[in-house]
Amino acid sequence: MIKVGIIGASGYTGSELLRILAQHPEAEVTAITSRTYEGRKLEEVYGGFTGWNGPVFNGSDSIDAVAGCDVVFLAMPHGVAINLVPSLLEKGQKVIDLGADFRFRDAQIYESWYKLQHTQRELTKNAVYGLPEIYRKQIRQAMLVGNPGCYPTSIILAIYPLLKAGLADPDRIIIDSKSGVSGAGRKADLAYNFPELFGNFKAYGLAGHRHTPEIEQELSLAAGKAVKATFSPHLLPVARGILSTIYLNLTKEITTEEVEEILTRSYQGEPFVKIIKEPRLPELKWVAGTNCCHIGVRVDRRTNQLIVVSVIDNMVKGAAGQAIQNMNLMCDLPETMGLQQWPVYP
Amino acid sequence: MIKVGIIGASGYTGSELLRILAQHPEAEVTAITSRTYEGRKLEEVYGGFTGWNGPVFNGSDSIDAVAGCDVVFLAMPHGVAINLVPSLLEKGQKVIDLGADFRFRDAQIYESWYKLQHTQRELTKNAVYGLPEIYRKQIRQAMLVGNPGCYPTSIILAIYPLLKAGLADPDRIIIDSKSGVSGAGRKADLAYNFPELFGNFKAYGLAGHRHTPEIEQELSLAAGKAVKATFSPHLLPVARGILSTIYLNLTKEITTEEVEEILTRSYQGEPFVKIIKEPRLPELKWVAGTNCCHIGVRVDRRTNQLIVVSVIDNMVKGAAGQAIQNMNLMCDLPETMGLQQWPVYP
Amino acid sequence: MIKVGIIGASGYTGSELLRILAQHPEAEVTAITSRTYEGRKLEEVYGGFTGWNGPVFNGSDSIDAVAGCDVVFLAMPHGVAINLVPSLLEKGQKVIDLGADFRFRDAQIYESWYKLQHTQRELTKNAVYGLPEIYRKQIRQAMLVGNPGCYPTSIILAIYPLLKAGLADPDRIIIDSKSGVSGAGRKADLAYNFPELFGNFKAYGLAGHRHTPEIEQELSLAAGKAVKATFSPHLLPVARGILSTIYLNLTKEITTEEVEEILTRSYQGEPFVKIIKEPRLPELKWVAGTNCCHIGVRVDRRTNQLIVVSVIDNMVKGAAGQAIQNMNLMCDLPETMGLQQWPVYP
Amino acid sequence: MIKVGIIGASGYTGSELLRILAQHPEAEVTAITSRTYEGRKLEEVYGGFTGWNGPVFNGSDSIDAVAGCDVVFLAMPHGVAINLVPSLLEKGQKVIDLGADFRFRDAQIYESWYKLQHTQRELTKNAVYGLPEIYRKQIRQAMLVGNPGCYPTSIILAIYPLLKAGLADPDRIIIDSKSGVSGAGRKADLAYNFPELFGNFKAYGLAGHRHTPEIEQELSLAAGKAVKATFSPHLLPVARGILSTIYLNLTKEITTEEVEEILTRSYQGEPFVKIIKEPRLPELKWVAGTNCCHIGVRVDRRTNQLIVVSVIDNMVKGAAGQAIQNMNLMCDLPETMGLQQWPVYP
């Protein structure tokens, strides 16, 4: 039984880790921390956990709180994990950081987009970007994983194989993403007050969202050259899920069916990626509560565009589920363990 | 042209007053106040008002801000209006308070339920409870109106005539109300964070909500004896509207049609109250954005219960619309002026 | 491995059975039927099942379609199951009917409320009402279970122990229930067209809903005398969940805490029923996707009323989950097998 | 007083025409038709119209039903209006068609995208495309107006002046639009069953939606050369509103502020188009229930893209409101008459 600790467990990512780990046959949560809820039971914060018999919230975010844990998940604001990771690694604990601190190969890019100084540049070299569909081998060996952002997961999975296949012009990639509100986290903020968002919809963070360099980092590796992407996030009036619609300039003539074929072959054997074939297109709720990513494509011959649509649950494949998938790999467990639920629908 | 001032105009009630007054042919908003948004344009707070050419927010809540206004609306937290009203009245300004400070004939009841001291007990005697369907005559003469609460409006209109007709036992009235989230006001509060409420539903404030004594005050007058009501509010995952389901013990044999007839007669000529007859029942969205109250009834012969269902828009008939209806009456204007919109549906 | 067949598997109840059974370690779905979708793969109807490798839809609803199954779930319109059950039982198959045909001890009540003739009155005597918290022993021995209705489950669990304890007057029970739209089933009907219900809320079926006699049947057994209940269902603008608010006339002085104590003792050891204690109250999403029922209470001393609030997921504890809980009992498996998920929240 | 008839008045477009016309000081609805609801009162179909004292539904869709009307609105399925229009025009009635039959200058394009034969090709030459911001003069003289589609309105208003200014490459325009469900009309269809769409989101009609040629027709006129646009509609889980996010390849260096300036100048004096300036961006609910279009822009210097975001209410500026704006122009009334409501928010 793997002992698991979660630092910063009272947010939505924390509670989602707990939801999934509660079903995991080989993991046991032995420590959860939250400065806000020190000494409180989980069910006092999340009524749905009434009857859960795990630990109460430890009020300290220090590494002592997770002493004895084999794996530690960090669900902290950007910049905070940097200082905790070295000590955790020294104690031989495996670390999965759900923030942005260890997602970048080039710490300078992190510093320029996140306006923070990166005090552990050396560590970034050993950190693995936790997208198993691309870095499975490295994750198995890793002690430190930078768990991908929610938007980047939905986007990279959708078009990585297509850029790799040279199908599309890497110079003009348009990404129009729509996310449920849980992506903004659990916080008291007038902008997320229920009546403001009910029946509403809007774009935000245009031409500057911090997930952009993360997306470009991975897509550039796929394309074999620097990729520039226009990334436009929108706020959907739902709790969960991300749908990304991606527009690629085709570099050669190809049919919808042939593109589907390329994706199908690329993801052959992948447990969590599924290609939705014409005439169907992926829907947000088809992956709600699951670790799956669904991808559909259409070639628009009139305009020579390839339109790619992907859906994930931002809380699962976009955060906690992927983190547990990474934990499974790092701990030599079956990759899908604890992650095989079907969506709650309708 | 009547000059109107709104103290506390940046909340949802304030913006709803502004929405309706902007269409009012005989009223002009000349002053709006908000401590939070001093000097800001209305459209900076509510983007929907982009292009509105009224005044900017005055940062003071003092009465000087509304000097020169003929009518002043107070949309303040409970207890704050008490201290502003005397000076406003001294200047001859008509006052409509949208809070609870002047709704009670007996200031002691106010003090015991609101846990505040009422320093203007004399004024409560001159204040009129602003429900035109009952107090039209007095409102026409009033200088100070206590605008009814949203829940009480939906409940009193629904059963006042039935209690007056002696149809029901006043000792056991069960009121199960459901309100949209705008009723909680415009505030940054984790409890109203969009993801918490999306797809959710709950009861709150059971056996102690502060609208209870207001409901009982008016229903007792209808029944001619002290009424005791069990009032249970619930939070609907929508922005607007209140639906109240009310259960009355019938004191005599009567049919659904006969009860409909009593209500129809009682509200004959009322512009904003409509009886929805069997087999139809009122729906929340039928009154969205309007000043209307729809009422439907069913007699359950098996259990000898009379079930009454009413709907209002909590922001309109439950607050701003009713306040403007009162203004029309106080200013000798046609009662329906500016209030005749049909619902935005679907 | 238990072989399971589902007759009428393309509706929401069918797909929910499939969602849960896909995780069940001791059950294997070997046959699903649907006249509409003959020969089609499940994923063509429910995209969320893309990758599921169970059987395709058999186009026949006859018992041949489920030959060889140990357990057969019937998810058919009322009146249809009656004719299938005898042959299934003859073949030694265990039957769980999710419709109303076998919920009543007195077939005459069924006939009068459902306007159908019951041609298998003898069978109703052997059928067990599938509410494990009350009939666990009988279910273990049963070959035929009438799975309870969604509303009745939420109501009976909430107040059965309280009526049994003689706390409340059985003559005037008021039940105000609110259900998500999935309760109406999967059908093309203008009344359930998305724009009609979005942001909307309404009561329906007042003074005559067919779940009333089912509720009264069980509550009468609890009270030891005939119970008459006023039952008012409402349509919540969400996909899933039922919240029932129940009003009981107290027959003696008691505190909220004492009532909580009675419920806690009654449900001691029950895996799926949880008492939510003051100051908390149950919320709809706390049980979404789970087989749990949460119950909270408040005594209103002013009015001598006991207010009981319960929540269930109408698709799980209100239908498919409870059916599988019954299957576990009938097949001598651990009662909670396959049913221990925590809610997907937020 | 202008006499107005509506053929096909029981759909959402029809009821929206009625909502707005009920407030119009110079128009009177004298005839409404619906084959489905012959002889029924409007309030039986739309409860929100309870108390409305206009005509009942005429069961015939023939032109006799609207005899004596000065203006006739046609809210029919595509292809049906074609046959009614000649007779209406012969009687000297002004016609506003809310379908696609008279939107195209080239009937062949209509035939190829709508798969219908256009039997009144001559009439298309006299029909005016009813977008007042571009064709105000012609509309004033017109007897027949083809009212624009909802998506095209949101898109053409957003970028017409920018293409006209030569800012953007007309060869690669990407349009990612999101619409509320009322855009699909009032119909019983499983695809729009409430539980299917609640909490859901999806793309549809990729690379082939029939609004594409209408968009290209107008944008080509703006650009002065043939425009090809990739148009991707999505279904938002709300009742009303369209938000379009449009991506343009910039042909020269320009700032966000300069683009805002171009739009502001272009729409100087326009009563219904408003430019939302940085740092704000338009939100769907800011125009709900109004005839307004809000437009915001951002230049992404890194990728040389111009991102344009527009919002309209699909039922108002996207259909009924724009039709009434056209009626006002055709009848020499003030253009904004009956159309000056502010949004119902929140």
pLDDT grade, residue B192 (50/70/90)?
very high
In chain D, the domains with their CATH numbers are 2-126 (3.40.50.720), 151-313 (3.30.360.10)
Compare CB distances from B46 to D50, D239, D345 and report the shortest one's residue: D345
Give contacts of C346 with chain B, Cβ < 8 Å: 195-196, 198
| pLDDT for res D52 | 96
> Coil, strand or helix: which one is A159?
helix
Compare CB distances from C201 to B178, B200, B204 and report the shortest one's residue: B178
Record: contact A198-B199, CB cut-off 8 A: no
Buried-exposed string B329-342: b where 16+ CB fall within 10 A, e elsewhere: bbbebebebbbebb
Q: Which residues contact D43 (CB under 8 A, 6 or more apart)?
A: D49, D50, D51, D52
Q: Which residues of chain D have pLDDT under 70?
A: none
Catalogue the E-assigned strands of C260-336.
Answer: 273-275, 293-300, 305-312
Give chain C's end-to-end CA distance (angstroms, integer): 35
Q: Provide the chain A residues 314-343 that lie in CB contact (below 8 A) with chain D.
A: none
D105 touches chain A (CB under 8 A): no
| pLDDT for res A165 | 97
What ipTM does this complex have? 0.97
Q: D180 with D121: CB under 8 angstroms?
A: no
Average pLDDT over residues B232-239: 98
Whole-angstrom distance, CA of residue B180 vs CA of residue B161: 26
B282 touches chain C (CB under 8 A): yes
Q: D153 with D317: CB under 8 angstroms?
A: yes
Give contacts of A283 with chain C, Cβ < 8 Å: 47
Whole-angstrom distance, CA of residue B341 vs CA of residue B323: 16
In this structure, how many other beta carbons lie within 10 angstroms of the beta carbon of residue C334? 13
Q: A128 with A146: CB under 8 angstroms?
A: yes
């079903």: which residue's tokens? A23
Average pLDDT over residues B236-243: 98
- Nearest-CA distance from A184 to chain C in Å? 12
Among residues of chain C, what percentage have pLDDT more than 70? Answer: 100
* Nearest Cα residue to C248 out of C148, C129, C161, C135: C161
pLDDT grade, residue B25 (50/70/90)?
very high
Find the catalytic residue in B69, B150, B292, B293. B150
Q: Which residues contact A278 (CB under 8 A, 6 or more apart)?
A: A256, A257, A260, A296, A298
CA dihedral in degrees (B135, B140, B141, B142; nearest 10)? 70
Q: A305 with A249: CB under 8 angstroms?
A: yes
Find the catalytic residue in C150, C292, C293, C331. C150
Whole-angstrom distance, CA of residue C34 vs CA of residue C62: 10
| pLDDT for res D62 | 82
Q: State yes or no: is C69 an active-site residue.
A: no
pLDDT in tens, A104-131: 999 999 999 999 999 999 999 999 999 9
In this structure, how many other beta carbons lie within 10 angstroms of the beta carbon of residue A165? 16
Residue type, B116: L
pLDDT grade, residue A61 (50/70/90)?
confident
Q: Which residues of chain C have pLDDT under 70?
A: none
B290 touches chain D (CB under 8 A): yes
pLDDT in tens, B113-165: 999 999 999 999 999 999 999 999 999 999 999 999 999 999 999 999 999 99
| pLDDT for res C165 | 97
Whole-number mean pLDDT of chain A? Answer: 97
| pLDDT for res D203 | 98
Sheet with C94-97, edge to edge strand ranges: C57-58, C27-33, C2-7, C71-74, C94-97, C144-146, C128-129
| pLDDT for res D327 | 98
Give contacts of D182 with chain C, Cβ < 8 Å: 195
CA C204, chain centre distance (Å)? 19
- Nearest-CA distance from B345 to chain D in Å? 8
| pLDDT for res B61 | 76
Residue type, D76: M
| pLDDT for res C330 | 98
Q: Considering all CA atoms of chain B, what is the largest pairwise distance in Å, rounded to the nearest integer?
A: 62
pTM of the model: 0.98
C186 touches chain D (CB under 8 A): yes
* Nearest Cα residue to C16 out of C254, C291, C268: C291
| pLDDT for res D61 | 76
